[in-house]
Amino acid sequence: MTAVPHDKAPADKGGLLARLLYGRGVDRDAKAKARVGLAILAFGLIYAVIAGRLVMYGVSSDGPSAKRGSGGDVVATARPDILDRNGAVLATDVRMPSLFGEPRRIIDVDEAVELLTATLPDIDGRELRERLSSNKGFVWLKREITPLQQQQIHKLGLPGIGFLAENKRVYPNGPEVSHVIGHVNIDNQGIAGLEKWLDSRGLADLHSLGFAIDRQQKPVELAVDLRVQHVLRAELVAAKDKFKAIAASGLVTDVRTGEIVGMVSLPDYDPNDPRQALDKTRLNRLTTGVFEMGSTFKALTVAMALDSGKVSLSSSFDARQSLRYGKFDINDYHAQKRILTVPEIFTYSSNIGTARMALALGVEHHKAFLKKMGQLDRLRTEIPESAEPLVPKRWAELNTVTIAFGHGLSVAPLQAVMGVGALMNGGKLIPPTFLKRTQAEADAIAKQVIKPETSDRMRYLMRLNAEKGSARKVDIPGYYVGGKTGTAEKVVNGRYSKTKLLTTFMAVFPADQPKYLVTILLDEPQPIPETKGYATSGWNAAPTAANVITRVAPLLGVEPRFDLPTADKQILAVTAGIR
């Protein structure tokens, strides 16, 4: 540098312009060097920003939100498949194209409206024009169109019209399992049945975070057996038809685990067409309806009496004359006009006998027992539909009298099934479930509510009733069925009607080793020639239950055993020997 001294102060020698531009007395060489250094920094920074942006895209392309954001992807989020206990699909997602418009990009609204209405004749032309003329960025035009329509519209080549693949919920079995699984709305959000439960269980949160678009969600396995469900529904449809009932419903439950293997409430609806569900008559009577269960409730009264230890199978009660209580007169339908033993009271379904039994134990005991059996509180299961039982506000002796034979207390049928199930399975109250449950899980939540011996005696009574009593029609050879009929008079205009009945039937099989409980309810069955003018449970609900058991027992893997001894030997003697 020293060799070129005039470089040191170039501006001094330069003209006015140079001095203006570069300043006076500056070492331009050193300055230039520093500024090249600055340029290095600047470029380093620029390339770092570019690389940073690339990394940003790389990271966001890993995330699910980017996958969704990249065009033509799912809007309505995916739901897990719902399977029955054997893996048959009850509900699944299918991808469907939906038509949308971006009004700001549309060049000719008239052309677009004309061509779209020609392709989709069922679309409202005026509404379409309104939507496309708006100044919005995005409008739905029609949700869930067919692939053929998509292709036709695609070929129209309209700018500002596009498709998004959406998940549409499909129920391949139609109305078969409708009330169990419920249905979803157009945005694939569960609004009834187990579908709603799925959302409340956290699926909705996943949706809002954008995580539930993955098709790899774990399927939900139900306790329902599609084959049993099909049989139950077919038989109920036939029975409803045959007896001209306004409604028919039924349950098949596993008394060992509380699993609901089949549940049908007719009239039902097709979840693929959820509008049908708005019809009030199509509600799920088994969980949303409350009914006076009639004589089937006597099982609870008898069990209470036996479990208290104050009454035994050989105890007897006076049924010689009607029980007069205030201005009410309690009579028997199959009046025997004599003193009846406990098994006789059960098989003749004596109102007087059961009422006296309940009175013998007192109101408080009765109330406490029903509370323990879960009959006085709202029963909640996975499905959101449930109803509060109608419990009398003042519970006097009269209430105990009527409730003893199943009047004056309205419960959801599923609730009664839970209670009777506990009488059958050795005395354990297990909350019913729609999901698959193992024996160990059931044992963990089971509550011992009555003694195992009481349960044995109750099954003896149920079996006895099928051998000699009102449930003879369900004595299907091989399955050792036990059952109890119930016929409740419906309240019409504040009075019990003699013609409008609710007939119920509960059957347990096999009665010596209880596995399944079948419950049938018929609402207002009519007498027909075949039933000799009767419309009571033994003539309609019981044969329906028999048909169901004949068909489902083999499906459920219950082995038929023939030539078994009568109930007193098979149930009472054997269990007495063990205990």
- Kindly state whether residue 396 participates in binding other proteins, applying the rule CB under 8 A: no
**DSSP class of 217:** P
Backbone φ and ψ for 82, nearest 5 degrees, come out as -115, 125
- Kindly state whether residue 58 participates in binding other proteins, applying the rule CB under 8 A: yes
Stretch near other proteins under the rule CB under 8 A, chosen from 33-41, 111-119, 366-374, 378-386 = 33-41
Which one, 71 or 494, has the nearer CB to other proteins? 71
Tokens of 296: 């089937």
- Kindly state whether residue 574 participates in binding other proteins, applying the rule CB under 8 A: no
- Kindly state whether residue 362 participates in binding other proteins, applying the rule CB under 8 A: no
* Helix/strand/coil for 571: helix
- Kindly state whether residue 35 participates in binding other proteins, applying the rule CB under 8 A: yes
In whole angstroms, the minimum distance from the beta carbon of 146 to other proteins comes to 24
What is the spatial distance between Cα 42 and Cα 67, in angstroms, rounded to a whole number?
A: 34
- Kindly state whether residue 39 participates in binding other proteins, applying the rule CB under 8 A: yes
Which one, 10 or 478, has the nearer CB to other proteins? 10
- Out of 98, 178, 265, 295, which one is annotated catalytic? 295
Ramachandran bin of 38, using left for φ above 0, alpha for ψ from -120 to 50, beta for the remaining angles: alpha
DSSP-H helix ranges across 3-161: 10-13, 16-22, 28-62, 64-69, 109-119, 125-133, 147-156
- Kindly state whether residue 121 participates in binding other proteins, applying the rule CB under 8 A: no
- Inter-residue contact 296 to 416 (CB < 8 Å): yes
In whole angstroms, the minimum distance from the beta carbon of 60 to other proteins comes to 7
Site for other proteins in 141-160 (CB under 8 A): none
Which one, 67 or 490, has the nearer CB to other proteins? 67
With CB under 8 A as the contact rule, the residue among 2, 8, 25, 55 that binds other proteins is 55
Residue of 196, 273, 274, 219 lying closest to 90 (CA atoms)? 219
What is the spatial distance between Cα 96 and Cα 364, in angstroms, rounded to a whole number?
A: 60
- Kindly state whether residue 54 participates in binding other proteins, applying the rule CB under 8 A: yes
- Kindly state whether residue 133 participates in binding other proteins, applying the rule CB under 8 A: no
Sign (positive/negative) of CA torsion 78, 83, 88, 91? negative
Which one, 11 or 363, has the nearer CB to other proteins? 11
Counting other chains too, the contacts that 64-73 makes at CB distance below 8 Å and 24 or more residues apart are 64/210, 64/211, 64/213, 64/214, 65/210, 67/213, 68/210, 68/213, 72/162, 72/163, 72/164, 72/165, 73/164, 73/165, 73/213
Strands 410-411 and 323-325: unpaired
What is the spatial distance between Cα 182 and Cα 269, in angstroms, rounded to a whole number?
A: 10
In whole angstroms, the minimum distance from the beta carbon of 216 to other proteins comes to 18
Residue of 294, 311, 314 lying closest to 302 (CA atoms)? 311
Residue of 299, 275, 162, 177 lying closest to 230 (CA atoms)? 177
Look-up of token digits 């109102």: 351
Please say if 295 is a catalytic residue. Answer: yes
In whole angstroms, the minimum distance from the beta carbon of 209 to other proteins comes to 19
- Kindly state whether residue 33 participates in binding other proteins, applying the rule CB under 8 A: yes
The terminus-to-terminus CA distance of the chain in angstroms comes to 116
- Kindly state whether residue 310 participates in binding other proteins, applying the rule CB under 8 A: no
In whole angstroms, the minimum distance from the beta carbon of 141 to other proteins comes to 18
With CB under 8 A as the contact rule, the residue among 44, 64, 125, 477 that binds other proteins is 44
Which one, 50 or 390, has the nearer CB to other proteins? 50
With CB under 8 A as the contact rule, the residue among 25, 53, 185, 200 that binds other proteins is 53
Residue of 15, 13, 158, 168 lying closest to 95 (CA atoms)? 168
In whole angstroms, the minimum distance from the beta carbon of 142 to other proteins comes to 23
Q: At what angle do helices 298-308 and 413-424 cross, to 10 degrees?
A: 40
What is the spatial distance between Cα 198 and Cα 191, in angstroms, rounded to a whole number?
A: 10
Which one, 69 or 554, has the nearer CB to other proteins? 69
In whole angstroms, the minimum distance from the beta carbon of 161 to other proteins comes to 15
Question: What DSSP assignment string belongs to 375-432?
Answer: -SS----SSS-----B--SS--HHHHHHHHTT-S-EE-HHHHHHHHHHHHTTSEE---
- The site that binds other proteins (CB under 8 A) totals a number of residues, namely 46
With CB under 8 A as the contact rule, the residue among 25, 87, 94, 105 that binds other proteins is 105
Site for other proteins in 10-29 (CB under 8 A): 10-11, 13-15, 17-18, 21-23, 26, 28-29
Which one, 55 or 445, has the nearer CB to other proteins? 55
- Kindly state whether residue 137 participates in binding other proteins, applying the rule CB under 8 A: yes
Q: Please give the residue ranges that form the binding site for other proteins (CB under 8 A).
A: 3-4, 7, 10-11, 13-15, 17-18, 21-23, 26, 28-29, 31-33, 35-37, 39-40, 43-44, 46-47, 49-51, 53-55, 57-58, 60-62, 66, 69-71, 104-105, 137
Positions marked catalytic: 295
